[in-house]
Amino acid sequence: MLRADGQPVQGGALQLTERQRGGGRGPDRLVGTFTPAGLAPGEYLLRITVTDGASGAAQSSSIPFVVSG
């Protein structure tokens, strides 16, 4: 997780709850819940990176969010 200025920050909790297998050539989909516990009010960027254990290829996805005070 990153602050709005791009600096890494500790806090929050991510729990993966489900893996939906992609049919045919479709990608798998991971479903989870994020709780921003312990984060100070401000703007953040949640970045998730998944790495293929066999090939080492990595894919990332990010979403901005705000913790209100």
List pLDDT tens digits, range 2-60: 988 889 999 899 999 999 998 888 888 889 999 998 999 999 999 999 898 899 999 99
pLDDT for residue 69: 81
Tokens 């709850």 found at: 17
pLDDT for residue 41: 94
Q: How far apart are CA 51 and CA 67, in angstroms?
A: 28
Tokens 């920050």 found at: 9
Percent helix / strand / coil, the chain, rounded to 5: 0, 55, 45
pLDDT for residue 27: 84
pLDDT for residue 23: 85
pLDDT for residue 46: 92
